[in-house]
Amino acid sequence: RELTGEVEFENVDFGYNPDKIVLHDINMYAKPGQKIAFVGSTGAGKTTITNLINRFYDIQDGKIRYDNINIGKIRKPDLRRSLGIVLQDTHLFTGTVMDNIRYGKLDATDEECIKAAKLANAHDFIKRLPDGYNTVLTGDGSNLSQGQRQLLAIARAAVADPPALILDEATSSIDTRTEAMVSRGMDALMEGRTSFVIAHRLSTVKDADCIMVMEQGRIIERGTHDQLIDMKGRYYQLYTG
Ligand code: CTP
Ligand code: MG
């Protein structure tokens, strides 16, 4: 890997339209391997921050650094390949399960794909498909359940082996058993990588190294779950409902 997954924002201001700033003075530092979570109400700016981590947009002011390099100077497509993978609405295509996993890294061997599927907790359900790894998926993946599609998405990310991950947690309606499988796969995938998680369920961020509480484009509180509970501020309010 070229990058370690260290990410730093310094005084970042951003607006999709320069006349309307939606993120104000964002400062954050993620050490390689840390799990950073974003919580806050709709429109607070959580997805926007992750868009900037991927450098989908230019910022108005401030600095974004990976491994101490100001990434304003690096071509964006290269960055996307080397840093973040967004695990959300993963696109499956008509082809075998194996090829759909391999899409994460086109020169991956079958063994690498199977290893990734095992890590993702996807191996068992794949083995039970009519043709195992050679089962052909429909273009929209509609011959799989939502939970199975998520497990494949995790396997695809695992084979890509990126230094950092961005997870915009789906507010999906999968059953609790499948959800537990997906969450175990996610945990295995996040191990050893910097992870930015947008959480819609506070229970999934309890173990984060740092939880950022956002409101109207600002980080208004930050800390571990316990620290934020002790603060008895916005997070405490959200948590105790
Ligand atoms: N916004 C915008 N143009 C876009 C996307 C978003 O102007 N293309 C604005 C939104 O109207 C909002 C702000 O940027 O005021 C932050 O949006 P977003 O980061 O998407 O908010 P989230 O915290 O991700 O909200 P949600 O929980 O609903 O996903
Ligand atoms: Mg969002």
Shortest-distance atom of ligand 1 to CA 41: 27
Q: What is the pLDDT of residues 96-128, one digit of tens each?
A: 999 999 998 999 999 999 999 999 999 999 999
Shortest-distance atom of ligand 1 to CA 49: 19
Q: Is 88 in a helix, a strand, or coil?
A: coil
How many Å from the N-terminal Cα to the C-terminal Cα in the chain?
42
Q: Which of 114, 99, 208, 95 is nearest to 158 (CA)?
A: 114
135-144: average pLDDT:
86
Answer whether 22 contacts ligand 1 (Cβ < 6 A).
Answer: yes
Furthest-apart CA atoms within the chain: distance in Å: 55
Q: What is the pLDDT of residues 7-51, one digit of tens each?
A: 999 999 999 998 999 999 999 999 999 999 999 999 999 999 998
pTM for the complete prediction?
A: 0.90
Which residue owns the Cα nearest ligand 1 atom 20?
A: 47
136-146: average pLDDT:
85
- Answer whether 161's CB lies under 8 Å from 108's CB: no
In the predicted structure, residue 81 carries a pLDDT above the cut 60: no
Asked if this assembly's ipTM is beyond 0.90, the reply is yes
CA angle 117, 123, 125 (to 5 degrees): 130
Percent of the chain with pLDDT over 70: 90
Answer whether 45 contacts ligand 1 (Cβ < 6 A).
Answer: yes
Confidence label for 175 from pLDDT (cuts 50, 70 and 90): confident
What pLDDT score does 140 carry? 77
Enter the tokens of residue 87: 């695990």
Shortest-distance atom of ligand 1 to CA 217: 16
